[in-house]
Each structure stands twice: as C-alpha cells, then as structure tokens.
Amino acid sequence: MGIESGQFNKKDEKGVQNIIAPAGMEVEPGYLKLGDKFAKTVFIFNYPRYLSSGWFNSIINMPELMDISIFVHPVDTVLALRNLRRKTAQIEAQLMERQEKGLVRDPVLEIAHQDIESLRDQLQQAQEKLFNIGVYLTFYADNLDALEKLGEKINSIFESQLVYVKPAMFQQLDGFASTLPLNIDKLLINSPMNSGPVSSMFPFVSVDLTSDEGILYGINRHNNTLVIFDRFSLENANSVVFAKSGSGKSYACKLEILRYLMMGIDVLIIDPENEYQKLAESVGGSFFKISLTSESQINPFDIPIVPKGEDPADIFKSHILNLTGLIKLMLGAVTPEEEALLDSAIIATYESRNITPDQPNFMELEAPLLEDFQTVLESTEGGKNLAKRLERFTKGSYAGFTNKATNVDIKNRLIAFSVRDLEEQLRPIAMYIVLNFIWNLIRADVKKRIMLIDEAWWLMKYSDSANFLSFLAKRCRKYYLGLTTITQNVEDFLESPYGRPIISNSAIQLLLKQAPVGIDVVTKTFNLSGSEKQLLLEANIGEGLFFAGLKHVAIQIIASYFENKVITTNPEELLTQQQEKNG
C-alpha cells in the first residue's frame, strides 16, 4: 500500500519539530535561555557612507557559534525615484534657506544632495537597484557573562568599521525567529541600500592569495586558484612552519627554496638531518658537514665585519654577547659571577691579539681560537674551574669542531650546513656557532636572502640559543633577510618564552598536518576555528593552512615532476631514481 507524499510530511512535521526544538525556553527582555544555552539577537541600524568589499568577513569568520540573517527586500524603482525626488526637493529647499539667511554652508546637506542626485541618475539608467536591508545576528554562550563579553566583542568589530548595532530589546523572540532558516523577517528593521553596498555583504567570500609577483606556493583548496605570493612584500619576510613528522614540511620548504633561487634570491640553511644535501648538490650549492672529524671548520671567535654606517664598538659588543651565550651553552649552568668572568675573559682574549674596536682595521687581524680563551681563563682569578670544564672542547673528545680556524668557502648562492653527524648534545652548540657565523655574513653584505633553520626546537631547548633566534627574528628585516623556522615539536617551541615572539615576528605561517596531542596548543596560538582545527588533523601530506599577513587559505603544496625529483625524501621514489640512474 502506497503512502501519499503530502500525508507523510504532515504527519511527521511535529515529530521533526520536537526533535530539533530545545527542551525549554526562557524569554527575557535582553536575551533568551534555550535549554542550557543563552542567546542574544542584535540588529544593524546604522552604516557608514561607504562600505568596502568584504567588510562583513571579520564577523562571518569569527570562531564563535552564531546565526546571521540578511534580508534583502527589493524596492520598486518607480517608487524609489518618487521618494528620492521628494527628498531632493526638501534638501534643496534647506540649502536655499540657509543661503538666503547668510548662514555658514552645511557640508552634511551638500554631500547628501550629491549622493541622492548620483543615486537618482544610476536608478534612472538601470545601473543600480534599491533595496531595504535587514541584518540580524544571534550569538550564543554558556552563561550570561560570556554572552555579554561576546556581545562587546561583536560591537567592537562593527564599530571599528563605523557600523553600529543594537540589541532587539523586548523583541528577542522575534529576533531569534528571524535568524532561523525560515525566511521570515519578524523584526522588519531595515535600512535603504543600493546594489553596490548590498553586494559588499555577500557572505560566501573566498580568500585569494594571488599576486603579480612572487612564487607559487600551492593551490587554494577552496577555489582551486594558485597561491602566488612574495614573502618580501609583507612587513617582514619571516615565516614559521609547524607540522608533525612526515607531513611534508621539509618538502614544502625545499620547494620554496628552489623557486626563490630561480628568482635570484640567495639561501642559507641549517640542516640537522642532511635533508638538504641533494638539493644543494643539484643546484650547484655548497654543503658543509660540521662534525668532530669534518674538514669544514668554523671558528666561533672569528672577528665580525663591520657594515657601512655601523659603529664598530656596537658590533664588537654584540659579538661578545653572542660568544658569551655560546660558552654558556658549552659549559651548562653558570652563576652570574661566572658569566661576568666569561665576559671579561673573552674581551681579554681579543686584547691579547691587539683586537679592540678602537684599533684601526681590527677586522683584518688574525682571530684567536677557543684554546686561547681557555689560556686566558686559566690565568684569571676564579677562572680555573671554568677553564677545566672547557677543556673537552679544546683538547678532549669534542675538540674537532670548535677549536680550528674557519676554512669554509661562502661564495655561493645556496649554502647549507649539516650537523647530523654530531652527537645529540653537541648539535645545539654547532647550530649556535653556524647561526652566529651566518649572522655576521648577513650583516657584512646586505642583499635579499632567505635563512632556513630546520628542527628549530633544538635551539629553543636552551635559553641562550632561543634568545639569539628571537633576536634574529626581530632584526633580520633590517638586513633584507627572511628567516624560516621549521619544527615538529610545537609544544617545546611554544614552551620557551622566546617561541611566541618568534611567531609574532613572522608574517607568514604554514601549518600542515598536526598530531592530536599538540592540536589544542596550535588552535589557541593561531586562533583557529573548529573546522580549521579538523582540517589540520585530517590533512593529507602537503595539505594545511597558509597564513600571509591577515589572510589565510587552505593550501595544497604541489611540485612539478622535475622539482619533485630534486626535493623528494620518499624512500620509494629515491630507490626508483637510483635504479634509473644505474640503468
């Protein structure tokens, strides 16, 4: 036996309503209580003279739960022209009256007259249409305090754009009904508006990150447009990359490096895992392995080159501070008295070679070594214990990479330093030495560069190296440098007091797939919505969120066939390449 469609719908209508309806409703003048939730409806009652495109996005993209209704009631053009003609006559009469009385001109009336005349012309020529617009927002919270705070936040966002809202006092039930998906405007609080401003309220806005200059970062997953961007066009060129292991973070960064090299930009890399060796060799770059037995050496006591216009005393003082941080990293915990002793001993070490800021051409003199510093410490009162602790880096098992003259050739467009072959406890020290060496290089020759630090959490584990990294993030813009910090240990990075300053000084952020254990920290740090949080948990390799300034998009990293051959670390693909090479 068949069932008629109409009978079925009518019979089950009340059942559906009972399922979706709240358990109870309490109506107050300024809010509603729906079960355990509190709700409040507000309406827009005043707009500025001009509305820019996308002005409503800041409200639509808020992570809080909210229902928004935009009612667009068309106005008959003939009726609109009649009303505008009447309004024009009124304003002209007021203007003439003020002129006859010799009163000072009223700019408000004059602008209103110009706007109405312009709108009349556009309506007459069918270039515009007139509408009555009602915009209502219902927002929700778990308690009244949270509801009030959210209301203040919404008011603040609107008022920053000269848009003003009011609560639907004693009409909260009608306001709530007006924001339900029933297409019923029970409030009927409307503002006249022509087509242009109405279009600026369009709620389904897809953010584009496509510019005329820059490199291809990937594909916008919302609309399949290309994400083309120049990191040097922002207030700073720094970036941070957060992702779990195996999500494609190094792949994305190598792709960026390859494309910026083609744009004529130099690249410096600190590589803890030899991941960038193949890339460096493929493009003819320099790859230096820093280890206890390596031929590549960097002397941490190298004398910094003083850039033009800089005070030699300031550069020298900064170098002393950086060296003190390195020695503290080598020695472990030191007391404030010992730190002061280290500072004076470093200065004395340079003075023993006649190297002082007031000495002409001091940069051309031969730099001391770590063993010279140890000798000075031994002859300093209270320094023998420190010298003994330092001995393993000059004569002991760690003497291979900290106590020799610099011999690396830095004349290349891509320079990578690998610290993979060092013991785990020596990696932060080596990364600090390389970082300081690169920083001196950058200041000596200012040009557009990118410096990439992979697995930056190694440096963030220690206060002095984390402080130095934070210092770089703040200062590198002055030297036309873009700093990229990559890490998979988000919590370790953010636990450091220097982690958040590095993020706040990075105009670009790339978030790829995240581990469930760290997603809450990432969500809070980057103010992600629930859907964005889910996107990062479920993302495939090379998928995530790309932030550039105030814009962000869901991105898919893509590479060409030949780019992939150079940058891939997939064991299966590498094996295939090796087999093809062997024939």
Question: Residue 344 in 3-state DSSP?
Answer: helix
Q: Is residue 221 part of a domain?
A: no
Give the residue-averaged pLDDT of 187-206: 79
Angle at CA of residue 418, ends 438 and 369, nearest 5° = 55
Query: What per-residue confidence (pLDDT) applies to 512?
Result: 95
- CB 272 within 8 Å of CB 427: yes
Query: What per-residue confidence (pLDDT) applies to 3?
Result: 40
Give the pLDDT band (50/70/90) at residue 9: low
Inter-axis angle of helices 336-351 and 312-331, nearest 10: 130
Residue in the block written with tokens 């740090």: 525
Residues 441 and 560 in one domain: yes
Of 371, 405, 439, the one marking the end of a domain is 405
pTM for the full model?
0.67
Give the pLDDT band (50/70/90) at residue 573: confident
Asked if the model's pLDDT at residue 458 lies above 50, the reply is: yes
- CB 128 within 8 Å of CB 122: yes
Residues 463 and 512 in one domain: yes
Distance CA 124, CA 131 (A): 15
Residues 373 and 353 in one domain: yes
Q: Is residue 308 part of a domain?
A: yes
Residue in the block written with tokens 């919270």: 141
Query: What per-residue confidence (pLDDT) applies to 346?
Result: 94
3-state secondary structure labels for all residues of 23-59: CCEEECCCCEEECCEEEEEEEEEECCCCCCCCCCHHH
Q: Is residue 533 part of a domain?
A: yes
Residue in the block written with tokens 């012309």: 121
Q: What are the tens digits of pLDDT across the range 549-561? A: 878 889 999 999 9
Host H or E run for residue 67: strand 66-74
- Per the structure, the complete domain to which residue 133 belongs is given by 20-75+129-199
Residues 191 and 266 in one domain: no
User: Residue 139 region, left (φ>0) first, then alpha (ψ -120 to 50), else beta?
Assistant: beta
Residues 243 and 271 in one domain: yes
Give the pLDDT band (50/70/90) at residue 76: confident
Asked if the model's pLDDT at residue 286 lies above 70, the reply is: yes
Cross-strand bridge partners of residue 140:
39
Query: What per-residue confidence (pLDDT) applies to 8?
Result: 44
**Residue % of the chain over a pLDDT of 90:** 43
Residues 389 and 423 in one domain: no
Q: Is residue 159 part of a domain?
A: yes
Query: What per-residue confidence (pLDDT) applies to 305?
Result: 84
Asked if the model's pLDDT at residue 13 lies above 80, the reply is: no
Distance CA 269, CA 289 (A): 12
Q: Spell out a b/e string for 380-419, using b for 16 or more CB atoms within 10 Å of the CB, else e.
A: beebeebbebbeebbeeebbbbbbbeeeeeeebebbbbbb
Q: What are the tens digits of pLDDT across the range 374-415? A: 999 999 888 899 999 999 899 887 877 788 889 888 889 999
Nearest to 515 by CA among 275, 284, 319, 247: 247
Beta 551-556 vs 481-487: how paired, if at all? unpaired
Q: What are the tens digits of pLDDT across the range 114-156? A: 777 777 777 667 767 888 899 999 999 999 999 999 999 999 9
Least confident of 74-88, 328-342, 386-400, 473-487: 74-88
Give the residue-averaged pLDDT of 438-447: 87
Residue in the block written with tokens 């030495």: 433
Of 405, 430, 463, the one marking the end of a domain is 405
User: Residue 102 region, left (φ>0) first, then alpha (ψ -120 to 50), else beta?
Assistant: left
Distance CA 448, CA 135 (A): 48
Query: What per-residue confidence (pLDDT) applies to 156?
Result: 94
Of 179, 199, 219, the one marking the end of a domain is 199
Asked if the model's pLDDT at residue 498 lies above 80, the reply is: yes
Q: What is the CATH number of the domain that holds 274?
A: 3.40.50.300
Residues 357 and 460 in one domain: no
Q: What are the tens digits of pLDDT across the range 511-526? A: 999 999 889 989 888 8
- CB 234 within 8 Å of CB 547: no
- Domain total for the chain? 3
Give the residue-averaged pLDDT of 189-211: 77
Residues 397 and 420 in one domain: no
Average pLDDT over all residues of the chain: 87
Residues 540 and 416 in one domain: yes
Q: How far is C-alpha 259 from the geometric centre of its chain's CA atoms? A: 21
Beta 239-242 vs 508-512: how paired, if at all? parallel
> How far apart are the two ends of the chain, measured CA to CA in Å?
72
Q: Is residue 526 part of a domain?
A: yes
Beta 66-74 vs 164-167: how paired, if at all? unpaired
Residues 397 and 449 in one domain: no
Q: What are the tens digits of pLDDT across the range 299-341? A: 999 988 888 878 888 888 989 999 999 999 999 888 989 999 9
Q: What are the tens digits of pLDDT across the range 225-264? A: 899 989 999 999 999 999 998 899 999 999 999 999 999 9
Q: Is residue 473 part of a domain?
A: yes
Q: Is residue 231 part of a domain?
A: no
Please report the DSSP string for 96-111 in residue order: HHHHHTTPPP-HHHHH
Residues 417 and 272 in one domain: yes
Q: What is the CATH number of the domain that holds 330?
A: 1.10.8.730
Q: Is residue 439 part of a domain?
A: yes
Residues 487 and 349 in one domain: no
